[in-house]
Amino acid sequence: MRRVAFTGSHFTGQQIVKASAGNLKRLQLELGGKSPDVVFADADLEAAVPGAAMAAFNNSGQICSAGTRMFVERKIYEEFSARVAEFGKTLRVGNSADPKTEIGPLVSAEQLDRVTGYLTIGRQEGARVLSGGQQLTDGDLAKGYFVPPTVFADVKDDMRIAREEIFGPVISAIPFTDIEEVIERSNSTHFGLGAGIWTKDVSKAHKLARGIRSGSVWINCYQASDPAVPFGGYKMSGYGRERGKQHVEDHLNVKAVWIKTD
């Protein structure tokens, strides 16, 4: 085996890097994230509300690039956060084998304990629960690992729920004032996998996209993908790329051949 591609936590990724030192095996690592999803007051809110919600709630939040740090421009912060919370309440949680289900269970009892632990931590840190916030135990849901879409408001950048990857359907809603501020705060993380931007101002979107250090930036959408477009991260989110020509190039090695004909 000449190359290893790994998708998972940055803790496991670090161990793989250590193990590769003995033979300098080539690696491609797609690791964790704590991705910012930035919503400006000039955004199309009818699109941004479900877009920002599902950026974190899709697949029960078990997506490494989920937009779990939702930065909202202060002038619309309370309204927008409340609307995202209300949208989350409309999502049908249940058995993933049921076609009507929109939010399924977490993957294991261990992950359930981890996510519900962070729900407790969020309240202890002083965050305000707008929706969700505890395990679902009614009826058949008591038999599974179900956590409802959860929105925390009044989140500060130094709170654990804003800094650590939860890997569950949990949004930390954080207000911001201007573009320079939100670029700096978006980058104030060990991770750099994805980022979202919601605005009608294209120049503003490009400025923010240039400033945020992440492998993917989605503007007025989230988690869009294409086999031709590379995907991967910065910083503790890993290195190397999946998809695109970069993915193929990572499997190749350059060889120089010299021939003297005289």
221 is catalytic: no
Residue 136 reports pLDDT greater than 80:
yes
Find the DSSP H helices in the chain.
10-20, 45-57, 77-90, 109-124, 160-163, 179-186, 202-211, 244-249
Q: What is the pLDDT of residue 250?
A: 86
Q: Per-residue pLDDT tens for 194-247?
A: 999 999 999 999 999 999 999 999 999 999 999 999 999 999 999 999 999 998
In a shared domain, residues 210 and 256: no
Interval 87-103 mean pLDDT: 95
In a shared domain, residues 197 and 260: no
Whole-prediction pTM: 0.93
In a shared domain, residues 213 and 239: no
- Dihedral pair phi/psi, residue 201, rounded to 5°: -90, 105
Residue 138: CB atoms within 10 Å: 7
Residue 124 reports pLDDT greater than 80:
yes
Interval 116-138 mean pLDDT: 97
Interval 100-110 mean pLDDT: 96
In a shared domain, residues 122 and 220: yes
Domain enclosing residue 118, as ranges: 33-224
- Looking at the chain, the whole-number percentage of residues with pLDDT higher than 90 is 91
Residue 121 reports pLDDT greater than 80:
yes
In a shared domain, residues 38 and 9: no
Q: Per-residue pLDDT tens for 38-66?
A: 999 999 999 999 999 999 999 999 999 99
Q: Mean of the per-residue pLDDT values for the chain?
A: 96
Residue 3 reports pLDDT greater than 90:
no
Catalytic choice (46, 64, 79, 125)? 64
In a shared domain, residues 251 and 127: no
Of 4-8, 41-45, 75-79, the one with minimum mean pLDDT is 4-8
In a shared domain, residues 145 and 179: yes
In a shared domain, residues 18 and 109: no
Q: How many helices (H) and strands (E) does the chain have?
A: 8, 12
Catalytic choice (30, 73, 165, 242)? 30
Q: Per-residue pLDDT tens for 151-196?
A: 999 999 999 999 999 999 999 999 999 999 999 999 999 999 999 9
Give Cα separations from 160 to 33, 164, 212, 250, 258 (angstroms): 14, 6, 21, 35, 56
In a shared domain, residues 147 and 237: no
Interval 17-39 mean pLDDT: 93
Q: What's the rounded Cα separation, in Å, for the pair 14 and 256?
A: 32
What is the tally of structural domains in the chain? 2
In a shared domain, residues 147 and 216: yes
In a shared domain, residues 5 and 104: no
Cα dihedral 131, 133, 135, 136 in deg (nearest 10): -20
Could you tell me the CATH number of the domain that includes residue 173? 3.40.309.10
In a shared domain, residues 24 and 39: no
Q: How far is CA 87 from the centre of its chain?
A: 19
